[in-house]
Amino acid sequence: MFAIVCVSENWGIGKDGNLLFHIKDDLRRFRELTLDKSVLMGRKTLESLPGGKGLPRRHNVVLTSNRDFTAENVEVTHFPVEAVFAAGEDGAIIGGGQIYDMFLPLCDRVYVTKVFASPEADTFFPNLDEDPHWQVECESEIFEEDGLRWQYVDYVPHEEEEDEEIAALLNSRPSEETMEFYPMPDLGNFSSFHGF
Ligand SMILES: NC(=O)c1ccc[n+]([C@@H]2O[C@H](COP(=O)([O-])OP(=O)(O)OC[C@H]3O[C@@H](n4cnc5c(N)ncnc54)[C@H](OP(=O)(O)O)[C@@H]3O)[C@@H](O)[C@H]2O)c1
């Protein structure tokens, strides 16, 4: 999964249920990166979209605890795990604050639009620059539109950390229980050849 977000200088993302910025080029990029994919969002973010409807040409998955909630062009889910399965491994996490916090650990990439401004905010994204799990993979030049300056920055998990996780996995010995479920294959002559 990946996340896509537009943040202010102090990682603010919203105020009073609305976005902080409306940058045409950013919205175009958001559309490009999410078109024909699943997008996973919280009920509050859905209600901030035009008409409170799912985004066109996307499979919209919405998480809410309200059993009676319905909306146009939306698959409603009530549990995080249900939402993740509905969105699939290529799905995009598109906000807001609660949803980013919950699903960020499942993401292998975060597309951040960093705006060089600090309007007041009441909802925030975790500061990836202060999180050792994340590293910048690439950053764009700085753009400007209607007096606002911004930059696109892609974050990915730290390579070393990933390598360590893979090494730990490869070095881990299967438990007795796992061996019962996944017994060693019959290696026949091959095993005696290797002196097993
Ligand atoms: N800058 C950006 O890129 C960006 C992107 C998206 C949104 N935003 C902004 O973010 C703000 C909204 O964020 P938010 O954190 O207030 O709301 P949100 O994350 O969009 O939605 C929160 C809602 O999700 C549902 N939910 C959360 N955890 C759940 C769980 N475990 N089980 C079932 N339902 C669960 C609840 O809905 P119910 O109350 O119905 O149960 C909850 O009220 C807005 O200002 C919006 O404009 C910014």
Per-residue pLDDT band at 174 (split at 50, 70, 90): low
For ligand 1, the distance from its centroid to the CA atom of residue 175, given in whole angstroms, is 40
Indicate which atom in ligand 1 lies nearest the CA of residue 19.
Answer: 47
How much is the average pLDDT of 164-172?
A: 62
Per-residue pLDDT band at 146 (split at 50, 70, 90): confident
User: Is residue 35 over pLDDT 50?
Assistant: yes
For ligand 1, the distance from its centroid to the CA atom of residue 146, given in whole angstroms, is 28
For ligand 1, the distance from its centroid to the CA atom of residue 126, given in whole angstroms, is 14
Domains of the chain (ranges; CATH) run 2-159 (3.40.430.10)
Please give, one letter per residue, the 3-state secondary structure of the chain: CEEEEEECCCCEEEECCEECCCCHHHHHHHHHHHCCCEEEEEHHHHHHCHHHCCCCCCEEEEECCCCCCCCCCCEEECCHHHHHHHHCCCCEECCCHHHHHHHHHHCCEEEEEEECCCCCCCEECCCHHHCCCEEEEEEEEEEEECCEEEEEEEEEECHHHHHHHHHHHHHCCCCHHHHHHCCCCCCHHHHHHCCC
Strand partners, 40: 61, 93
pLDDT confidence of residue 180: 57
For ligand 1, the distance from its centroid to the CA atom of residue 9, given in whole angstroms, is 21
Is the CB of 54 inside a 6 Å radius of any atom of ligand 1? no
Residue to mutate (ligand 1; options 2, 45, 104; most atoms within 8 A of CB): 45
CA dihedral over 76, 77, 82, 87, signed as positive or negative: positive
Residue 14: burial class (beta carbons within 10 Å; 0-12, 13-18, 19+): buried
What predicted TM-score, i.e. pTM, was given to this entire model? 0.86
Per-residue pLDDT band at 159 (split at 50, 70, 90): confident
Indicate which atom in ligand 1 lies nearest the CA of residue 4.
Answer: 3
User: Is residue 187 over pLDDT 60?
Assistant: no
What lies within 8 Å, CB to CB, of 99 at 6+ separation is: 40, 41, 42, 45, 63, 93
Is the CB of 8 inside a 6 Å radius of any atom of ligand 1? no
Cβ contact 1:90 at 8 Å: yes
Indicate which atom in ligand 1 lies nearest the CA of residue 41.
Answer: 20
Is the CB of 12 inside a 6 Å radius of any atom of ligand 1? no
**60-96 pLDDT tens trace:** 999 999 999 999 999 999 999 999 999 999 999 999 9
Indicate which atom in ligand 1 lies nearest the CA of residue 46.
Answer: 20
